[in-house]
Amino acid sequence: MKRAQDLTRKGYMPIEGCNKGYQYNAFLSFADEDRPLVDQVVTKLEENTILQCQVCVHYRDFTPGKSIYKNIVEAIHMSKKTVVFISRAFLKSSWCKYELRMAMTEESYRKRHVVVMVVLEAIPNTDLPLDVLQYYNKKSYIEKPTSQNDMEVYWKMLGNMVANDDDLY
């Protein structure tokens, strides 16, 4: 709880009563090096007529002139889920780590499942930050398949996680 109080003092405020009426199904958090894959995810989710998802990505949906910090916090608030694409590049990016911390804080405030982790590559536990490792150990995550044969299952799982109304914490 102390961490939440510290974040509140730094300008992070939860939106009260935001369990309904999100602008986006998901905010996608990723390293720039992983953008080609994320572009595929955006296309798959938004063009799927069954799921009818609307996702938020920084390069398209952030407000120019507004601070990056404020854009990130607002994107997380306005999204039912935050999908984080874990890669070595993600773990090296201070912006990506900030997005993950803010999404985890939002999850704590909302007392419901917010963060969806998609692991893009095998990373030894010794190379993972403690907060990511702890999350790995307590929550399910999706691994990007190495074989083309498994891609259909991957897309279905990802779509269900983003579109799912399951708020269990």
Q: What tens digit of pLDDT does each residue of 24-50 get?
A: 999 999 999 999 999 999 998 998 877
Which CATH code of 3.90.550.10, 1.10.645.10, 1.10.600.10, 3.40.50.10140 fits the domain covering 27-163? 3.40.50.10140
pTM of the complete model: 0.82
Give the pLDDT mean for 134-139.
82
CA proximity to 158, closest of 169, 142, 147:
142
Residue 102 has pLDDT above 50, yes or no: yes
pLDDT for residue 33: 98
pLDDT of residue 12: 47
Q: What pLDDT was estimated at residue 73?
A: 96
Span 67-84, pLDDT tens digits: 999 999 999 999 999 999
pLDDT of 20 above 50: yes
Position 166 scores a pLDDT of 61
Q: Where are the domains positioned within the chain?
A: 27-163
Report the alpha-carbon distance of residue 89 to residue 79 in Å, rounded: 24
Residue 115 dihedral angles phi and psi, to the nearest 5°: -85, 130
129 backbone φψ class: left, alpha, beta (φ>0; ψ -120 to 50)? beta
Beta strands in 34-114 (DSSP E): 55-56, 79-86
Three-class DSSP category at 44: helix
Instruction: Return the closest-CA partner of residue 158 out of 23, 59, 78, 55.
Output: 55
**What does the alpha-carbon distance between residue 151 and residue 154 come to, in Å, rounded to a whole number?**
5
